[in-house]
Amino acid sequence: MVTPLVLVAEPDPFQLELFQEACEAAGFDVAAALDGERALAQIARHPPSLVLISDALEAPPAAQVAAILRADEDLRTLPIVSIGPGVPDSDIHVDRPVRVERIESVLWRSLRRARDTRRRIRAESAPRLSLEIDRLTGAGTRGQLEITLHHELIHGARFRRSLGILRVRVADMESMPRVSRRMMKVLRDTDLVFRSETLELLAVLPETDIAEAAIVRDRLLAALEDGERVSWIGTAASEPHGTEVTPLLQRAGEPGH
């Protein structure tokens, strides 16, 4: 499980420490900034999973920081939670005085909402239309799989997001087309299915950790019908900063995954 990174931007050192402790208690890694310039520098070096920003922030002010983030193609879906109502481009604001339990619930809700937004954007961009299609299964080809894995791993490492994979070994050639169609039906629109080997299919699951990948595996097993024969199904997820394809594929092929 990749621990989300929260950037806390607050000009008052006492309040900054309070918010840091609240975020850490909620299970987040934390970076801190006392002004807008340092906040933007932190985001450029290590993009966080979420920004918690005070509307009292200056140099530049919080509203300008948020506007800059929304104008950046890579950061436009970055969740912004503001302390106080004075940040127009924030996703949600927390009123003062701030309750610690309120911060925790808002941060996790904002992360889930941002992930749903990114998945919707992926679906609307119709990545399937650009895939080279394997004639037997209707899935993407091995070449497209390698390109997709490299791209998604680099993207995930930059933004601290897991990449999950679901690896399916099919028992015989006759079952391949049916199992491939079943996978496409079970998975989200943003998950892509590829024929990775002669009798093997692999699904790329953006922003999916190992526990979520296991849920997808169980859904597929439950959906298989008589005649759709598989010999095993493996799952794995990337490390927080991993960009190597081979270890991820090896883990998905190990017994017990």
Q: Which CATH number is 163's domain given?
A: 3.30.70.270
Q: What is the structure's pLDDT at 130?
A: 55
Q: What is the structure's pLDDT at 17?
A: 92
Q: Please report whether residue 22 resides in a domain.
A: yes
Q: Please report whether residue 159 resides in a domain.
A: yes
Name the domain count of the chain.
2
Residues 132 and 61 both lie in one domain:
no
Q: Please report whether residue 141 resides in a domain.
A: yes
**If pLDDT is split at 50, 70 and 90, which confidence band does 126 have?**
very low
N residues, the chain: 257
Residues 21 and 70 both lie in one domain:
yes
Residues 43 and 110 both lie in one domain:
yes
200, pLDDT greater than 90: yes
Q: Which of 94, 124, 128, 120 is nearest to 109 (CA)?
A: 94
Q: What is the structure's pLDDT at 198?
A: 93
Q: Please report whether residue 169 resides in a domain.
A: yes
Higher pLDDT, 150 or 131: 150
Average pLDDT of the residues of the chain: 87
Long-range (24+ apart) CB contacts under 8 A made by 244-253 are 244/153, 245/146, 245/149, 245/150, 245/153, 248/149, 248/153, 248/163, 248/165, 249/165, 249/167, 249/202, 252/165, 252/166, 252/167, 252/202, 253/167
Place of tokens 């970055």: 78
Residues 188 and 242 both lie in one domain:
yes
Q: Give tens-digit pLDDT for 27-41.
A: 899 999 999 999 999
The tokens describing 140, both together, are: 């993407």
Residues 98 and 209 both lie in one domain:
no
Of 122, 157, 182, the residue at which a domain comes to its end is 122
| Strand arrangement of the beta sheet that strand 80-83 belongs to | 29-33, 5-9, 50-54, 80-83, 92-94
Residues 195 and 175 both lie in one domain:
yes
Residues 166 and 100 both lie in one domain:
no
Of 122, 141, 159, the residue at which a domain comes to its end is 122
pTM, two decimals, is 0.73
Of 73, 106, 122, the residue at which a domain comes to its end is 122
CATH of the domain at 66: 3.40.50.2300
pLDDT over 70, % of the chain: 92
205, pLDDT greater than 60: yes
107, pLDDT greater than 80: yes
Q: Please report whether residue 203 resides in a domain.
A: yes
Q: What is the structure's pLDDT at 151?
A: 83
Residues 132 and 242 both lie in one domain:
yes
Q: What is the structure's pLDDT at 118?
A: 79
Q: What is the structure's pLDDT at 150?
A: 85
Residues 15 and 97 both lie in one domain:
yes
Q: Which of 119, 141, 139 is nearest to 189 (CA)?
A: 119
257, pLDDT greater than 60: no
Residues 80 and 17 both lie in one domain:
yes
Q: Which structural domain range is residue 236 located in?
A: 127-252
Residues 134 and 242 both lie in one domain:
yes
Q: Give tens-digit pLDDT for 51-68.
A: 999 999 999 999 999 999
Q: What is the structure's pLDDT at 79?
A: 92
Q: Please report whether residue 257 resides in a domain.
A: no
Q: Please report whether residue 135 resides in a domain.
A: yes
Residues 76 and 181 both lie in one domain:
no
Q: Give tens-digit pLDDT for 1-36.
A: 568 899 999 999 999 999 999 999 888 999 999 999
Q: Please report whether residue 107 resides in a domain.
A: yes
Q: What is the structure's pLDDT at 57?
A: 93
